[in-house]
Amino acid sequence: MGLLSIIKKQKLKDKEIRCLILGLDNSGKSTIVNRLLPKDQRSSEITPTIGFQIHTTHIQDRIVSLWDIGGQTTLRPFWDNYYDKTDVLVWCIDISQPFRFNESVHELFSFLQRDQGRPGHHLKLIVVLNKIDLISGSSIMTRVSSVQNDLSGVAGAGAVFVRCSGVTGQGMQELSYEMCSD
Ligand SMILES: Nc1nc2c(ncn2[C@@H]2O[C@H](COP(=O)(O)OP(=O)(O)OP(=O)(O)O)[C@@H](O)[C@H]2O)c(=O)[nH]1
Ligand SMILES: [Mg+2]
């Protein structure tokens, strides 16, 4: 590898990844963010987010800022304010509550539609199917396909789906990898 490519690679590595975590209230955003932090920086109690919280941490050898925004109805009109310079959008869905899938799909659609007015932005979308621990093994596939179906046409072909549990830690490695891979 030439010197220039090494410098280029290092520059890319040094660049902070700005990650915006959105989704409906109670979907588990703050719990996931808490899991992504080093053990000694985790909170023992998570309460509904009123406003937003920013954490900056190392994930997979990269510096990542995690923008955790409250998902309650009254807070959603403010989501757009956090969009600027976002590299990765993590959209969190509570897979144990199928009756809220439509609401989540609608909110994602509205958010991404507004995004079209922001030229030149290349955003990576990761859809997190959270609370997988609450679904019995036999119905996981049905539930996952149901969400993926609902989201087809909204999330786009480049979207990545990750199943996880912010409580047990299942799927966190995969989520970390996807957040940091180009
Ligand atoms: N069983 C289970 N419970 C979870 C999981 N993730 C979060 N929870 C629970 O779901 C509830 C809501 O989690 P939060 O992380 O506060 O959800 P949020 O999306 O940040 O909610 P807002 O801040 O209101 O937008 C809490 O009681 C969590 O303990 C999970 O993977 N499995
Ligand atoms: Mg929260």
Question: Would residue 4 count as lying in a domain?
Answer: no
Q: Is the pLDDT of residue 116 over 70?
A: no
Does some domain include residue 6? no
User: Model confidence at 128, in pLDDT bands (50, 70, 90)?
Assistant: very high
Q: Indicate the pLDDT class of residue 120, thresholds 50, 70 and 90.
A: low
Report the nearest atom of ligand 1 relative to the CA of 31.
Answer: 15
pLDDT grade for 113, boundaries at 50, 70 and 90: confident
**In-domain check, residue 132:** yes
Residues with CB under 5 Å of ion ligand 2 are 29-30, 49
Backbone angles phi, psi at 19, to 5 degrees: -120, 120
Is position 3 within any domain? no
Is 46 touching ligand 1 by the criterion CB < 6 Å? yes
Residue 173 lies in a domain: yes
Centre of ligand 1 from the C-alpha of residue 159, in Å? 23
Query: Which residue from 31, 44, 72, 168 has its CB within 8 A of the most atoms of ligand 1, so it is best to mutate?
Result: 31
How close is the Cα of 72 to the center of ligand 2, in Å? 9
Name the more confident of 8 and 90. Answer: 90
Band (33; pLDDT cuts 50, 70, 90):
very high
Answer yes or no: is the C-beta of 97 below 6 A from any ligand 1 atom: no
Q: What is the CATH number of the domain that holds 72?
A: 3.40.50.300
68 is a domain residue:
yes
The residues carrying an active-site annotation are 72
Three-state DSSP string of the chain: CCHHHHHHHHHHHHCCEEEEEEECCCCCHHHHHHHHCCHHHCCCCCCCCCCEEEEEEEECCEEEEEEEECCCHHHHHHHHHHCCCCCEEEEEEECCCHHHHHHHHHHHHHHHHHHCCCCCCCCEEEEEEECHHHCCHHHHHHHHHHHHHHHCCCCCCCCEEEECCCCCCCCHHHHHHHHHCC
Domains contained in the chain, number: 1
User: Between 157 and 164, where is the model more confident?
Assistant: 164
Identify whether 158 is part of a domain: yes
Query: Averaged over 39-60, what is the pLDDT?
Result: 95
How many Å lie between the centroid of ligand 1 and the Cα of residue 48?
Answer: 8
pLDDT at 67 over 80: yes
- For position 25, what pLDDT does the model report? 98
Write down the ipTM of this complex.
0.99
**Rounded mean pLDDT of the chain?**
91
Q: Which of 38-47, 102-111, 113-122, 134-143 has the lowest mean pLDDT?
A: 113-122
CA separation for the pair 127, 106 (Å, rounded): 14
In a domain, 93, yes or no: yes
User: Which domain range does residue 98 map to?
Assistant: 11-40+49-180
Nearest residue (by CA) to ligand 1, atom 7, is: 28
Q: What is the pLDDT of residue 121?
A: 64
Q: Is residue 34 lining ligand 1, measured as CB closer than 6 Å?
A: no
8 A C-beta contact, residue 55 and residue 68:
yes
Note the pLDDT of residue 117. Answer: 65
Segment among 15-19, 30-34, 54-58, 136-140 with least mean pLDDT:
136-140
